[in-house]
């Protein structure tokens, strides 16, 4: 079950949250972010867009590093919160974060993560979506959460794995997907491609 340290797992992301999720599988990824100037094709659905962005990141990573060697693995991912035809990215400031929380309050939205995984010499590209419904947020609720500072660097202005859980009424689908990586699906692909075999 142990992986040889000579066979690195490259996580093409600067997200500590995605790294934490991989840690739960016993994987210590090498964080290898790329500086991508994202191209958003307006013809794509939100789900397709996440996969397109993950593919863009993988292409840039491979251009810089070259293809993974035997036993090496690489993973890219992109997560989008969407509602009413809008993509909610990371808020620029507190006012924009408050605007996002107002929009999500008491309503259902979708969180989609697209990922590209290269392992065992094979390439996989998929997306996973999770439905999330917020509670009705009072002005005090929003102020309390905004004061936590968690809205920084968070798509949709919240982090479900931290205090952001207090905003949630229910979710349908993968909890870890809302955090930024559908870890059950990643595990299944790695297992089926003998990632943990000696």
The structural architecture, per CATH, of the domain 9-192 is Alpha-Beta Complex (3.90)
DSSP bridge pairs for 108? 133
What is the rounded CA–CA span in Å between residue 43 and residue 108? Answer: 23
- The yes-or-no answer on residue 192 being catalytic is no
Q: Which of 78, 93, 98, 198 is catalytic?
A: 78
CA distances from 43 to 30, 46, 52, 85 (A): 34, 10, 11, 12
Strand partners, 109: 132
What distance lies between CA 164 and its chain's CA centroid? 16
Q: What is the dihedral of CA 12, 13, 16, 17, to 10 degrees?
A: -100
Say if CB 135 and CB 171 are below 8 A apart.
no
Q: Are 55 and 116 in contact (CB under 8 A)?
A: yes
For β-strands 73-83 and 108-119, DSSP reports them as antiparallel
This prediction's pTM: 0.89
Report the C-alpha gap between 169 and 133 in whole angstroms: 6
Give the pLDDT of the chain (198 residues) as one tens digit per residue. Answer: 445 456 899 999 888 889 999 999 999 999 888 887 766 677 888 899 999 999 999 999 999 888 888 889 999 999 999 999 888 988 999 999 999 999 999 999 999 999 999 998 899 999 999 999 999 999 999 999 999 999 998 889 999 988 999 999 999 999 999 999 999 999 999 999 999 886
Q: With contact defined as beta carbons under 8 Å apart, do 57 and 36 qualify?
A: yes
Ordered by start, the domain boundaries in the chain are 9-192
Write out the DSSP string of 105-154: TT-EEEEEEEEEEEETTEEEEEEEEEEEEEPPPPHHHHHHHHHHTTTTT-
- Answer for the pair 18, 176: CB distance below 8 angstroms, yes or no: no
């Amino acid at each position: 079950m142990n992986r040889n340290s000579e066979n690195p797992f490259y996580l093409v992301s600067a997200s500590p949250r995605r790294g934490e999720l991989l840690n739960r599988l016993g994987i210590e990824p090498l964080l290898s972010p790329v500086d991508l100037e994202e191209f958003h094709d307006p013809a794509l659905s939100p789900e397709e867009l996440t996969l397109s962005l993950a593919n863009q990141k993988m292409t840039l990573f491979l251009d810089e590093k070259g293809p993974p060697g035997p036993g090496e693995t690489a993973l890219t991912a992109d997560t989008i919160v969407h509602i009413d035809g809008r993509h909610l990215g990371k808020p620029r400031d507190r006012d924009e974060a408050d605007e996002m929380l107002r929009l999500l309050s008491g309503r259902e939205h979708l969180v989609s993560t697209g990922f590209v995984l290269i392992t065992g010499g094979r390439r996989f590209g998929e997306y996973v979506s999770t439905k999330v419904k917020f509670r009705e947020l009072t002005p005090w609720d929003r102020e309390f959460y905004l004061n936590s500072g968690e809205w920084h660097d968070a798509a949709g202005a919240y982090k479900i794995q931290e205090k952001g859980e207090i905003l949630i009424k229910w979710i349908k689908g993968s909890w870890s997907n809302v955090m930024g990586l559908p870890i059950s699906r990643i595990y299944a692909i790695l297992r089926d491609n003998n990632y943990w075999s000696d």
